[in-house]
Structure 1
Amino acid sequence: MSKQGKHSLIYLVGRGIPGIINFAALSVYTRLLSPEDYGQYAIVISTVALCNTLLFQWIRMGLLRYLPKFDTELKRAPLYANIAVGYATAIFVSLLMTGLLYIINPGEMVVKLAVFGMVLLWTEAFFEIALELLRSNLQVIRYSLSFTLKSSFALGMGILMVYNGFGVRGLLISLAASTILTTILSMKSILLAISISFRHFKLSFFREFLIYGIPFTVTFGMTFIFNSSDRYFINYFLGDRETGLYAVAYDLARQSLWVVMSAINLGSFPLAIRALESSGVVAANIQLIKNLQLLLKISLPISLGFIALSSEVVDLFIGEKFVAEAKQIVPYIIGGTVMVGAKNFYFDQSFQLGKRTYLQIYPVIAAAVVNVGLNMFIISWLGVIGAVISTLISFSIALTMSIVISRRVYPLPFPFIYFLKVLLASSIMGLGLFYGKEIMEGYVLRLVVLVPLGALVYLLLLRVFKIDFFK
């Protein structure tokens, strides 16, 4: 197995175990919480994620890009100083934003954001920065263990909190507490290195760091809008209950596939950056082809298999109050996730490799404008299905524009024949699962029998097409 394959496999395990834990959490929470409560929780979490994106994302992206330039820990002090100053500045801005929000509208939801949400924001932001350090250093095992530890703590404390009647506040407290505990236990050295680095701060390097990272703030902010603005519109037009029903279905579909695609990218993209820095464009392109092939042969069969067995997955994982809505939505969100994954985890890499990150703003701005415009008009008319339609349209616009613009920055290689072979093998497997489940009774039996059988069929088809899955 290649180095990139080994790293991605470790990340897949490291992301997969927390993903399974998150599935368990979703299953438990949809049985303990009402749709109204889950709707409130989804809005708070979405707002925290938006603030994290706007205030801290540029730090993580600058870290990922510049860390390979420093080959020893001693030389990294100026980079750590940038992280420390950027993090402190973002915290100060978040305090101002929260204070202003509380003055404008001192309601119950704002209180949640001001107290629990802000603490969760700070802890999540630092945890993700520490994860990027581990990722950039190719410390894949430590990365995976940290992620698993955090998810385990969050699930245990979350169940305890909800079961004892703390509701939404209890879930937010458990998330923040699990992040703090994990950081102290497994990332103490990173916390110490960043906290003592202020004296190495250099304004010129910070300016370069900022110029590289800020376009990502706009980009990911707009990405957040076309990914999650539908929850706010659903909440405004339809209320907490419909927000909760939609959010559960969306999270089930999105998280399942996103865990896999992000794990592959986590293991693969740093190798492409290192190849470009050390050996040039040809070496980077060879690595990029390997990365894309790995992404295709894992994510495509999972997505089409999930679509074929979506009803069975929903019945297994989701509480009864949420099932009907989820079965309508999940297959479409899986399709949309494939589009966004292709954009984020391959075509957008052109802008980073070509150091013209500002250009990736245009696809997401266009998609965000379309998404918001459609949501304003069709959610009140079609309900949550309107949100699904606007999401798919905006995702397709973002992907198309990213493909077109990226070719002018850093033309990415695309193994088209390889893609067609994997797509055909995945489609045959998916059709077999879809029609094969009709001869079986019970969703548990269908999943137990058909999932391994589908995987075996897919691997055999790859062999027919002369593709080695494990290479």
Structure 2
Amino acid sequence: MVREIERGDHAAARRQLLANGTLLLAVLAPASLGVALTGNCIAATLVGSKFAFGVAALIPWMAMSQFFNCMGTHFVQAFQLGKRLHLQIWVAVVAGINAIGLSIYLIPREGPVGAAIALVATAVVTCVHSTVAGRYAYPIPLPISGAVRVGICCAIMAVVVIQFPNSGWTGLVLRTGFGAVAYALAAIAFNLLGSREHTIRMAKHAARSLAAFRSAAVLKKLR
């Protein structure tokens, strides 16, 4: 990607950036949603019963915070690609002011949940700020089409996940397993990241391999 930019092939660089953004979104969105939907299971499994309720309340906020933080890093690279690093300083300054201000306001009122809300708000502001300011350095394309498909796949996954219990190891395994399968099937159905073509190609390769194995077995018996 950097090589394409240095050669002046910005169209190829934007295609790669769009593919990278779609892939990042396709991985982050279901992972973050999955963590949020299994918050009670995770809390009940990892911590004692005295702390499970408090931890469960924090997990969805933590998942959202990590989602926007990771998406923000994708758009932050615009400052490096456009060689305008001074713009990134203002993103960091605004993020710091936002985090401190919200923490001072929310933590005394909401406690740990207030701190988590402050982190989420800061991550959202930073992600949006990086996206907007980054366009003055190097415009990174927004994966809108991919985002729509990911959103639909995540919605299908959520509908499946909430059908299972949200407590203990059993709920964690069921929600994680069936959620992953539902998202994968939805991704193939909507051809997210060309997954349908990849699946068909892999199925054909497996069928050819199986046919070759059977033919070899038949020939071995005849000998």
- TM-score computed with the length of structure 1 as normaliser: 0.39
- Residues 70-81 of structure 1 correspond to what in structure 2 (within 5 A)? none
Residue 362 of structure 1: aligned partner: 90
Residue 220 of structure 1: aligned partner: none
SS of the residue 2:164 aligns to: helix
| Conservation of the 8 A alpha-carbon contact between 1:275 and 1:287 | no
Q: Which residue identity lines up with residue 445 of structure 1 in the other structure?
A: T
Residue 407 of structure 1: aligned partner: 135
Structure 1 residue 354 displacement after superposition = 0.5
| Conservation of the 8 A alpha-carbon contact between 1:314 and 1:327 | yes
Q: State which of 170, 178, 184 in structure 2 corresponds to 1:445.
A: 170
Match status 1:341 vs 2:66: no
Structure 1 runs, 4 residues or longer, greater than 6 Å off: none
- Residues 245-324 of structure 1 correspond to what in structure 2 (within 5 A)? 272-277=1-6, 280-324=9-53
How far does the alpha carbon of each residue in 1:351-404 deviate from its partner, in whole angstroms, 9 at most, with x for none?
110011110121221121122122223322322222122222222221221111
Identical pairs, percent: 28
| Conservation of the 8 A alpha-carbon contact between 1:301 and 1:426 | yes
Gaps of 5+ in 1: 1-271
Structure 1 residue 429 displacement after superposition = 0.4
State the alpha-carbon separation in 2 of the partners of residues 388 and 377 from structure 1. 12
- State the aligned residue count: 196
- Residues 70-469 of structure 1 correspond to what in structure 2 (within 5 A)? 272-277=1-6, 280-344=9-73, 346-434=74-162, 436-438=163-165, 443-467=168-192, 468-469=194-195
Q: Which residue identity lines up with residue 105 of structure 2 in the other structure?
A: F
State the alpha-carbon separation in 1 of the partners of residues 81 and 185 from structure 2. 36
Q: Which residue identity lines up with residue 104 of structure 2 in the other structure?
A: M
How far does the alpha carbon of each residue in 1:294-315 deviate from its partner, in whole angstroms, 9 at most, with x for none?
1111111111111111111122
Residue 67 of structure 1: aligned partner: none
Q: Which residue identity lines up with residue 457 of structure 1 in the other structure?
A: A
State the alpha-carbon separation in 2 of the partners of residues 415 and 374 from structure 1. 30
How far does the alpha carbon of each residue in 1:189-227 deviate from its partner, in whole angstroms, 9 at most, with x for none?
xxxxxxxxxxxxxxxxxxxxxxxxxxxxxxxxxxxxxxx
Q: Which residue identity lines up with residue 164 of structure 2 in the other structure?
A: K
RMSD: 2.1
| Conservation of the 8 A alpha-carbon contact between 1:363 and 1:397 | no
- TM-score computed with the length of structure 2 as normaliser: 0.79
Q: Which residue identity lines up with residue 389 of structure 1 in the other structure?
A: I
Cα distance change of structure 1 residues 354 and 308 upon mapping to structure 2, 3 Å threshold: same
Structure 1 residue 414 displacement after superposition = 1.9
